Structures are given as C-alpha cells and as structure tokens.
Homo-oligomer: A and B are copies of this chain.
Amino acid sequence: MLDVQAPDAPLTLCPNSNASSECAHCKVRALSVCSALEAEELAALDKLARHVSFEKHQTIFAQGEASHSVFNITSGSVRLFKLLPDGRRQIVGFALPGDFLGLSLSERNAFSVETLSIASACQFPRAAFSELADAKPHLLRRLYDMAGHELSLAQDQMVILGRRTAEEKVAAFLLGLRKRWARIDGSTVRAPLPMSRQDIGDFLGLTVETVSRMMTKLARDKIIVIVPDGVRLLDLARLEALAET
C-alpha cells in the first residue's frame, strides 16, 4: 500500500512490483483489513496488492458484473449503491480511507462503486485474496470481524431508513459520518461531506430537497454550521437527542 496522498501521485495503475514493502508506510493500515496481521501475513497480502488511483466520479466496479477484485480504500471516498430498473437509487454505504470493498467475496458485485473525489486503493485479485484468507486464519478472522461490524452498521441503517423522520435521518447521518472521520483524522466537530445532497438523500431514503431543508433547519437551530465541503457540528448533545438510538 503506497502513500497515496502524495500530491503528485499519478492517476494510473501502478505495476504490482511497486507495491511490495509499501504496507509499512500505509497511512490507513491501522484502520484497515491489514491491521492486526502478523508480519508474514502482511507480506503475503503485500504480494497480492496493486495500487490504483481513480479520478472523481469514476466507476470502480458495477453492480451485476463479475467480481474480479477486492479493494482497500487508501485515500478519497466512494459511494456504494444499488440501482432499480426505473432509475431509483439506494446508496448502501460510503467508503472512506481504510474501508474495505468486497467483504462478501461473491461472484458478482451486489452493488456499484463510484468515487466521490479522486481516490486511491489497494487492489487484490478476488480469487487469490479468497485463497489467502483460507491460508491465513488471522486474515480470515479479521475479515469476519469486519463483516460482522458492517452487518451491524447495516442494521443501524435499517432503523434509520424504516423508523426515523427526515430530521432524525439527517442528524443520525451527520453524527455517524463524524464518528467515522474521527477515526481517520481525529477531528471532533468537523464532518467533511464529500458526497452531494443527492447522495445523502439516496442514502437516507429522502429527496435532495428534503435533505437541503433539514440541513438548513439544523443550521437555523444552531445545531450545525454549514461550511464549504462539509458541516461543523456545534451542538452534539442536541444532535444526539435527535438521532437517539
């Protein structure tokens, strides 16, 4: 895993050979699938890794296609979504640096993934990765724990989608996102929003307009401040009261 946040990182595929011994410098390693692996396992992973970079709004893989690779996001962020035949879209998640794409290792992609910004990732061939998981129980356990965590987040999202009002949805979304950013950059009140209002709406089961209205309502109530590229959470207590679990 390269240090992909170097400003001059090329927007191209890097040859596999470049990836070796780069895990040691990886900024997201502590957050990602690679954490808590032994040296030998990390080395084996390293051998499979190929570092890739993507432009803004580029498709990484598409729903329904055969799945060739799994990815570990190293910089930037992406949206995971499902499309209905009539064009309705449900975003099933956003992946931030350190997040893993392809936990379910299925033959076909269950959703599409597009970047929200320029982004980079470690790419692993799916079949080889699956075999490595079978050969390295620590890795498999790590994947299992991550899948359990994702499952739990998905269930939280079901509550949000099924039983919360528009205002509660937006509050819960902002809190959840801030929490995830906190792991990455330690920020405590800033929540960058690399995704559009439309994306937020498609994640929360709302329209753009409703998301916008709820954001301005939260801002008018002095609970958040809308800043360029994100929000600042002013009143965590009231935000949590709105999003109460």
Assembly stoichiometry (copies): 2
> Which residue of B has the minimal Cβ distance to A145?
B105
- The reply to whether the CB of A15 lies closer than 8 angstroms to some CB of chain B is no
B-chain residues with CB within 8 Å of residue A104 when the two chains form the complex: 148-149, 151-152
- The reply to whether the CB of A84 lies closer than 8 angstroms to some CB of chain B is yes
Q: How far is the CB of A7 from chain B (nearest CB, A)?
A: 35
Identify whether the interface residues of A are mostly helix, strand, loop, or mixed.
Answer: helix
- The reply to whether the CB of A88 lies closer than 8 angstroms to some CB of chain B is yes
Roughly how many angstroms separate A204 CA and B159 CA in the complex, as a whole number? Answer: 10
Residues of A116-171 contacting chain B, CB below 8 A: 133-134, 137, 140-141, 143-145, 147-152, 154-159, 161-164
Contact with B along A86-105 (1 / 0, CB 8 A): 00111010000000000111
B-chain residues with CB within 8 Å of residue A110 when the two chains form the complex: 152, 155
Residue in contact with A151 in the complex, picked from B85, B134, B151, CB distance below 8 Å: B151
Q: How far is the CB of A111 from chain B (nearest CB, A)?
A: 7
- The reply to whether the CB of A106 lies closer than 8 angstroms to some CB of chain B is yes
Q: Is the CB of B205 within 8 A of A162?
A: yes
Contact with B along A76-90 (1 / 0, CB 8 A): 000000101100111
Q: Is the CB of B154 within 8 A of A158?
A: yes
Q: Using A148-B105, A148-B106 as known contacts, say yes or no to A84 and B244 having CB atoms under 8 A apart.
A: yes
Roughly how many angstroms separate A82 CA and B160 CA in the complex, as a whole number? Answer: 11
Q: Is the CB of B244 within 8 A of A163?
A: no
B-chain residues with CB within 8 Å of residue A158 when the two chains form the complex: 82, 90, 92, 154, 157-158, 161
Q: Is the CB of A204 within 8 A of B162?
A: yes
> Which residue of B has the minimal Cβ distance to A64?
B245
Q: Using A90-B158, A92-B155, A152-B106 as known contacts, say yes or no to A205 and B84 having CB atoms under 8 A apart.
A: no
B-chain residues with CB within 8 Å of residue A88 when the two chains form the complex: 163-164
Roughly how many angstroms separate A51 CA and B244 CA in the complex, as a whole number? Answer: 37
B-chain residues with CB within 8 Å of residue A157 when the two chains form the complex: 154, 158
Roughly how many angstroms separate A79 CA and B245 CA in the complex, as a whole number? Answer: 19
18 interchain pairs (CB within 8 A)?
A90-B159, A90-B162, A90-B163, A103-B147, A105-B145, A105-B148, A110-B152, A110-B155, A111-B155, A133-B141, A137-B137, A137-B140, A140-B141, A151-B151, A157-B158, A161-B161, A162-B203, A163-B205
